[in-house]
Amino acid sequence: MITLGEVGDQVQKIEFRCNRCPRSGTYNVARMAAHYGSTTDIGELMRTLSTDCPMQQSTNSNYDVCGVHCPTLSRITRPRLRNAD
């Protein structure tokens, strides 16, 4: 799980895109964290932002689905988890 707070520690803007349609957007991470909470999981945020996508409710096939993704995640590094020894 990667949270808005973790992303916000490294970048100011976060981008979401769909690889199945032209929908896309770039958002200010601080504003997103203020609205949704800094502990919000990016995966959950993607589902929330794409709830009005017609492909989310599609039942035509397994391949006719929403393709929301976050290109920003490939440009940031995740903090290493420490052992709980």
In a domain, residue 82? The reply is no
pLDDT at 81 over 80: no
Give the pLDDT band of residue 17 (cuts 50, 70, 90). Answer: very high
Over residues 27-48, the pLDDT tens digits come to: 999 999 999 999 999 999 998 9
**70 pLDDT more than 80:** yes
What is the C-alpha radius of gyration for the chain, rounded to an integer number of angstroms? 14
Domain-embedded: residue 34: yes
Domain that holds residue 40: 4-75
**Token pair for 23:** 């929908």
Does residue 80 register a pLDDT over 60? no
- Return the SS3 of 13: strand
Asked if residue 13 is part of any domain, the answer here is yes
Confidence of residue 19 (pLDDT cuts 50, 70, 90): confident
CA separation for the pair 26, 24 (Å, rounded):
7
Looking at the domain assignment, is residue 85 inside a domain? no
